Structure 1
Amino acid sequence: MIDARRLRILRAVADHRTVTAAAAALYLTPSAVSQQLAALEQETGHRLVERGAKGARLTPAGEILLTHANAVLAQLERAEAELADYGAGVAGTVTVAAFATGIGLVIAPAIAALSLTAPGIRVRVQDAEGDASVPMVLDRQVDVAVAVEYRGAPGEDDRRLTRVPLYSEPFDAVLPAGHHLAGQEHVSVADLAKDTWIGPYPGNPCHDVVVLACEYAGFAPRLEHSSDDFHAVVALAGAGAGVALVPRSALRGAALDRAVVRPVEGAPARRVFAAVRQGAEGHPLIKPVLQALAEAAGPARQR
């Protein structure tokens, strides 16, 4: 009989590529992870993981088992959801990880709505960058992720997750007030090819959006200033340090006295979604949270 807990460990190793990183995500020691993998290999009669200088990777037998592990773990999530529904005491805590703008735009309104419609549900929020929250869901550190599409993000067909689209928003150009294009109603990314740029750090999903938009326009941006705080990016643009592309919602509350914002022709977009472990979407605590997030995202979709 295969132990489902060991299947979670196998999936964590596949996700994190090293035993040490998988152990940290699961709050276990590396030796405990190694012991559980060895026991799983004994249970199945196959070598499942190979370790090398570049980390750990699954063998062909491990990949086969991982496919079944995703289905088994999703079914266990559904079983927990149905049992919780049977218990019918809809009261408890749901932990949500999200990036700062998403917290203000959809999570805070969702919490306010839940206080009226489902007062027994307590939402605990953790600030996490747009590419960090999904791994936290897969590692069972949080229940729900509000995340941004990024290169390498799990796709809509990923059997580990259930995704709920929330909203999509364009990036606007932020220019110094004295910029030669400040008087135009619209700008194109190609118009900014010779400028100095301000942008998020590599690894931030918005960094990828900016770099790809510039690549499509035929140039590599000269990124001289980096910050993941978009209000800081706007302040630098206002000081004449360069130009930037900023998600529209991130401009709310920013000091624009010395900077101008212009729509971008063919603007790139930031796509935001909620994700839970597959099977957990029907849990009586999680389902109302997902519904509240989708409803809170309505005004953002309209904008």
Structure 2
Amino acid sequence: MIDARRLRILRAVADHRTVTAAAAALYLTPSAVSQQLAALEQETGHRLVERGARGARLTAAGEILLTHANEVLAQLERAEAELAAYGDGVAGVVTVAGFATGIGLVIAPAIAELAASDPGIRVRVQDAEGDASVPMVLDRQVDVAVAVEYRGAPREDDLRLTRVPLYSEPFDAVLPVGHRLASGAEVEVGELAEDVWIGPYPGNPCHDVVVLACEYAGFAPRLEHSSDDFRAVVALAGAGAGVALVPRSALSGVGGAPGGEGGAAGGVGPGTGVVVRPVRGSAPTRRVFAAVRRGAEGHPLIRPVLLALRGAGRALG
């Protein structure tokens, strides 16, 4: 009989591509992971993992077993949820990982809502970049992820996860006040092709949005300045170092709305020397969703958290 714990190890190796990384995610030693994989291969009678200079990859037999592993592990999550519901003790801790803006916009309001509707549920929050929280869910480090759509993000039909859309928001152009386009009502991304750019580091989901928006406009941005902190991005733009595309919620304090002059939310005050302009046409967009391990969405502790998060997202319009 196949051990479900070994199926989790197989999935971790598939997700992380190396035995060492999978072991770190599962809080095991690499040797323990290798031993469990060997035992799983003995149980199934097939070679499941091939190791090479570039890491570990599943064999054809391993891919077949992984498909069933996703279904088995989802069913185990449902069993845990139903047993918890049977116990009817809706009290406990749910750990939620999210990026800074998402914490402010949906996680904090959800916690306030739960305090009134489900006082037995305590939410523990961990700050994680928009592309880091989903792997934390899959590795069972947290229960819920509030994440940003990014290149390589698990698809909506991914058998490992259940996703709940929360909100989406456009990116606005941030320009120095002396910029040639500062006086216009809107900005086309293509009009900034010759400018120096300020943006997040590669790996940050917002970096992908910026680069893709520029690619669609027919150019590659000349990213000379990098920061994952949008307050720093605004400060650099205000100093005349370049232009940027920034999610609107990160600029909620700039003159009160796109088109204003001032500082960004989160501690940057007025007079930063930038103007904010909406993007003409189809603006680049940040899409935010919540994710849980498939089958866990019905857990009596997790379900109210997802509902509160969805409600907070809807309140944003």
Normalised TM-score (structure 2): 0.94
- Equivalent in the alignment of 2:120: 120
Matched, 1:290 2:303: no
- Equivalent in the alignment of 1:260: 275
Partner SS for 2:141: coil
- Equivalent in the alignment of 1:30: 30
What per-residue deviation string (whole Å, max 9, x for no partner) do you get for residues 230-287 of structure 1? 1110111111111000000111341352111000012110000000000000000000
- Equivalent in the alignment of 2:234: 234
- Give the unaligned 5+ runs of structure 2: 254-263
Counterpart residue type for residue 245 of structure 2: L
- Give the unaligned 5+ runs of structure 1: none
Partner SS for 1:96: strand
Structure 1 counterpart of 2:289, from 273, 286, 290: 273
CA distance in 1, matches of 2:151, 2:227: 20
Q: CA deviation at 1:180?
A: 1.1
Q: CA deviation at 1:299?
A: 2.5
Matched, 1:94 2:94: yes
1:1-303 alignment runs, 5 A limit: 1-253=1-253, 254=264, 255=268, 256-257=270-271, 258-265=273-280, 266-300=282-316, 302=317
Partner SS for 1:180: coil
Counterpart residue type for residue 77 of structure 1: E
Counterpart residue type for residue 202 of structure 1: P
What per-residue deviation string (whole Å, max 9, x for no partner) do you get for residues 102-143 of structure 1? 000000000000000000000000010000000000000000
Counterpart residue type for residue 259 of structure 1: V
Counterpart residue type for residue 252 of structure 2: R
> Identity of paired residues, percent?
85
Normalised TM-score (structure 1): 0.98
Partner SS for 1:297: helix
The number of equivalent residue pairs is: 301
CA distance in 2, matches of 1:87, 1:62: 37
Q: CA RMSD in A?
A: 0.7
